[in-house]
C-alpha cells in the first residue's frame, strides 16, 4: 500500500509550501548575492566558496522548513492514522514510505529551483558563470537530506503528539529549523572539530551539498580552512541518522495517540 | 460481528465515566442507539474505532480485540475525523479511500451523484457545508462493501429528502449497522432493527424498534422492568405497556428523565 502519488499531489498543489520552502529561500539567496557579498572576491575560488556556502545552508533550511510543515500535519490526522492502521490496508511503514516518497518529489523540485536560483543570482552578481559541478549528485544528496529531515521532523512531531501534548508540538516543530540555522551557519563561521562535522547530520548534509556544487571537498570551515572532509563518512553519517530516525518514526507511528486539535491552542 | 463486554471509559480528569459497563453484541443485526447529546454515544463509536482507550472491558470486531486489529477493511464509519489523512479534493480522497479499503472508486462516485453531491467533488472537506461533510462521511461509510458500519448522528444537518434516501440505503445495506442518533422521531423508519437507549454512559436494551410505542419510563425500580438505571437524578425503569411516561413522548431520554425526576 503506497500513497506517495496523492501525497505528492497534495504537496505540489500547496502554495504555502512553495512560498516558504522556495520563494522565501530564493529571497534569502538574493540577500546573500546582492547585499551580503561586499567583501567577497575577486578570486574565482573565493566567489565559488561564498556562493556554495549560501546554497548549502539555504537548502538545509529549505528542507527543514518543508519537513517541519509536513510533519506538523500529523496532529491534524492522528485520528485518521489510528483508524487507517486498524481498519484499512495502510500500514505504518507504508504510510512512512508514502509521506517520504511524496515529500521527495517536492524536495527534488525545491532543490532544482534553488540550484538554478543560486547559479543565476550569484552568477549575475559576480558576472561569471557558476554552474554546479555535479548537479545529479546534488539531487541525490538533496533526496537523502529530504529523507533525513522528514524522519527527524516526524519523530519530533510524534513524540509531541504521543507524550507531550499538542501545545508542545507547536514549539517542537521549530527544532529542526533552529538546528539547521545554527549548525549550518556554524560551519561557515567557526572551525568545527572534524569529528563533530562527521557526527552531525546537519553538517554532513551541508558538506555534501558544498562538494556537489563546488566540485572540491568541503572543509571543517567552509571556504576558511584547509582541513578537508571525506564524502564517504559524510554520506554514511547522513544515512545512519536517517535510518535511525526512520526506525523511531515507525515505532512512534505504531503507537500514535489520538489528539483533538483544539488541545493545541495556546490561549 | 461486534462484541463489547463491560466497557468502561473514563477520560483523564473527568469526574465520572463517559461509558459505564456497556454490553453489546451485534451479529448479523442492525441497531439504533438513542441518547441525548453527551450521553456517550460518540465515545462508544470512537472506542470501537480504536480512537479512545477503554479504562476497563473489551471490544472485539470479528472476534479480534480492537487493540490488536490491523488491516480489517470491513469496518467503516462516517466519523469525519477519520477522513483527514491528507488535504485533497473529494474526488481524490475518494480514490485514496477506495485504495485503502480495496474498493472501486466508481461506487462512491455513483453515490455522490445519487445524492446530488457532484458539486463537492472538486472541493476539499473543510470547504464543504456541515451537511455536505456529514453526507460525504455517511457515503464513505456505506461504500466499498463494509460488513460492519458505525454511524454517528448520520442525519445531522441533512435535508429531509436525502434523509429518506439514506434511510432506504441503510435498510438495504447487507452489513451489521450501529447507528447513533438523538432523534426519536426517526425511529419509525427502522422497523426490524434493535433499539438501545444510552443514558449517562449506560446502554439499556436491546428492545425491538417496533416496541418503541410500548416502552415507558417509570420512576424507581419497577417490578418486572425490562431494564433499570441508577442515574444522578435517581433510579428509573424501562417498562412495557405501562409506566409513568411513554418513551416516545419526549424528544430525548434526558428530557423524559428530567420531567420525571
Q: What is the pLDDT of residue A54?
A: 93
User: What SS3 string covers chain B?
Assistant: CEEEEEEEECCCCCCCCCEEEEEEEECCCEEEEEECCCCCHHHHHHHHHCCCCCCEEEEEECCEEHHHCCCCCCEEECCHHHHCCCCCEHHHHHHHHHHHHCCCHHHHHHHHHHCCCHHHCCCEHHHCCHHHHHHHHHHHHHCCCCCEEEEECCCCCCCHHHHHHHHHHHHHCCCEEEEEECCHHHHHHHCCCEEEEEECCEEEEEEEHHHHHHEEEEECCCCCCCEEEEECCEEEEEEECCCCEEHHHCCCHHHHHHHHC
Whether B255 shows a pLDDT value over 90: the answer reads no
Report the C-alpha gap between B54 and B31 in whole angstroms: 22
Containing domain of residue B198, as a range?
Answer: 2-74+147-260
Q: Which residue has the higher pLDDT, A81 or B251?
A: A81
Q: pLDDT below 70 — which residues of chain A?
A: 1
Read off the pLDDT of each residue in B111-136 and give the average, rounded to a whole number: 95
Residue B184, in any domain of the structure? yes
Q: What is the pLDDT of residue A212?
A: 93
> Which of the four pLDDT bands, split at 50, 70 and 90, describes residue B127?
very high
Whether B258 shows a pLDDT value over 90: the answer reads no
User: What CATH number has the domain bearing residue B70?
Assistant: 3.40.50.300
Q: What is the pLDDT of residue A1?
A: 63
If one counts the domains in chain A, the total is: 1
If one counts the domains in chain B, the total is: 1
Residue B114, in any domain of the structure? no
Q: Give the other-Cβ count within 10 Å of B166's Cβ.
A: 21
**pLDDT tens track for A42-69:** 888 889 999 999 999 999 999 888 888 8
Residue B126, in any domain of the structure? no
Residue B247, in any domain of the structure? yes
Residue B85, in any domain of the structure? no
Q: Does A90 touch chain B (CB under 8 A)?
A: yes
Q: Which of B78-92, B102-116, B245-259 has the highest mean pLDDT?
A: B102-116
Q: Pairing state of beta strands B2-9 and B19-26?
A: antiparallel
Q: What is the pLDDT of residue A223?
A: 74
Contact A89 B102 (CB under 8 A): yes
Contact B66 A86 (CB under 8 A): yes
Q: Nearest CB to A89: which of B66, B71, B83?
A: B71
Whether B95 shows a pLDDT value over 80: the answer reads yes
Q: Does A227 touch chain B (CB under 8 A)?
A: no
Q: What is the pLDDT of residue A207?
A: 94
Q: What is the pLDDT of residue B250?
A: 65
Q: Does A6 touch chain B (CB under 8 A)?
A: yes
In percent, the amount of chain B with pLDDT more than 70 equals 98
**pLDDT tens track for B161-193:** 999 999 999 999 999 999 998 877 788 889 889
Residues of A in contact with B82 (CB under 8 A): 79-80, 83-84
Containing domain of residue A167, as a range?
Answer: 4-264
**pLDDT tens track for A222-231:** 877 778 899 9
Amino acid at each position: 500500500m503506497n500513497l506517495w502519488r496523492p501525497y505528492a499531489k497534495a504537496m505540489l498543489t500547496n502554495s504555502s509550501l512553495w512560498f516558504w520552502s522556495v520563494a522565501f529561500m530564493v529571497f534569502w539567496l538574493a540577500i546573500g548575492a546582492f547585499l551580503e557579498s561586499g567583501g567577497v572576491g575577486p578570486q574565482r575560488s573565493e566567489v565559488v566558496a561564498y556562493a556554495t556556502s549560501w546554497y548549502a545552508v539555504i537548502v538545509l533550511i529549505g528542507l527543514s522548513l518543508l519537513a517541519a510543515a509536513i510533519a506538523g500535519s500529523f496532529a491534524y490526522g492522528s485520528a485518521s492514522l489510528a483508524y487507517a492502521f486498524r481498519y484499512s490496508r495502510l500500514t505504518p511503514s507504508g504510510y512512512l514510505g508514502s509521506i517520504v516518497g511524496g515529500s521527495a518529489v517536492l524536495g527534488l523540485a525545491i532543490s532544482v529551483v534553488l540550484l538554478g536560483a543560486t547559479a543565476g543570482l550569484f552568477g549575475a552578481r559576480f558576472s561569471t558563470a557558476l554552474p554546479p559541478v555535479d548537479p545529479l549528485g546534488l539531487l541525490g544528496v538533496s533526496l537523502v537530506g529530504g529523507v533525513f529531515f522528514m524522519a527527524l521532523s516526524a519523530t519530533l512531531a510524534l513524540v509531541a503528539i504521543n507524550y507531550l501534548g499538542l501545545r508542545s508540538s507547536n514549539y517542537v516543530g521549530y527544532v529542526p529549523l533552529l538546528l539547521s540555522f545554527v549548525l549550518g551557519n556554524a560551519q561557515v563561521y567557526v572551525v568545527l572539530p572534524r569529528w563533530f562535522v562527521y557526527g552531525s547530520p546537519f553538517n554532513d548534509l551541508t558538506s555534501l551539498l558544498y562538494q556537489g556544487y563546488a566540485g572540491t571537498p568541503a572543509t571543517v570551515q567552509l571556504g576558511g580552512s584547509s582541513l578537508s572532509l571525506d564524502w564517504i563518512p559524510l554520506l554514511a553519517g547522513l544515512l545512519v541518522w536517517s535510518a535511525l530516525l526512520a526506525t523511531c518514526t515507525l515505532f512512534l507511528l505504531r503507537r500514535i495517540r489520538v489528539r483533538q486539535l483544539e488541545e493545541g491552542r495556546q490561549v | 460481528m461486534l462484541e463489547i463486554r463491560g466497557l468502561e471509559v473514563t477520560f483523564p480528569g473527568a469526574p465520572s465515566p463517559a461509558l459505564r459497563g456497556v454490553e453489546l453484541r451485534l451479529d448479523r443485526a442492525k441497531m439504533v442507539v438513542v441518547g441525548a447529546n453527551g450521553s456517550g454515544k460518540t465515545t462508544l463509536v470512537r472506542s470501537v474505532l480504536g480512537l479512545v482507550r477503554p479504562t476497563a472491558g473489551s471490544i472485539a470486531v470479528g472476534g479480534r480485540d480492537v487493540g490488536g486489529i490491523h488491516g480489517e477493511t470491513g469496518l467503516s464509519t462516517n466519523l469525519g475525523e477519520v477522513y483527514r489523512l491528507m488535504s485533497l479534493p473529494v474526488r481524490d480522497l475518494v480514490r485514496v479511500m477506495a485504495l485503502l479499503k480495496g474498493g472501486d472508486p466508481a461506487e462512491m462516485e455513483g453515490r455522490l451523484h445519487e445524492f446530488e453531491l457532484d458539486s463537492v467533488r472538486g472541493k476539499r472537506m473543510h470547504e464543504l457545508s456541515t451537511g455536505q461533510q456529514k453526507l460525504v462521511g455517511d457515503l464513505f461509510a456505506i461504500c466499498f462493501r463494509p460488513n460492519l458500519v458505525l454511524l454517528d448522528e448520520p442525519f445531522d444537518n441533512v435535508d429531509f429528502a436525502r434523509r429518506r434516501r439514506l434511510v432506504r440505503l441503510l435498510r438495504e445495506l447487507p452489513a451489521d449497522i450501529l447507528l447513533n442518533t438523538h432523534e426519536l422521531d426517526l425511529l419509525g423508519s427502522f422497523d426490524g432493527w434493535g433499539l438501545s437507549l444510552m443514558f449517562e454512559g449506560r446502554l439499556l436494551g436491546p428492545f425491538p424498534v417496533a416496541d418503541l410505542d410500548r416502552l415507558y419510563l417509570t420512576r424507581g425500580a419497577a417490578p418486572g422492568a425490562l431494564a433499570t438505571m441508577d442515574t444522578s437524578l435517581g433510579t428509573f425503569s424501562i417498562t412495557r405497556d405501562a409506566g409513568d411516561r411513554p418513551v416516545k413522548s419526549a424528544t430525548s431520554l434526558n428530557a423524559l428523565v428530567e420531567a420525571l425526576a
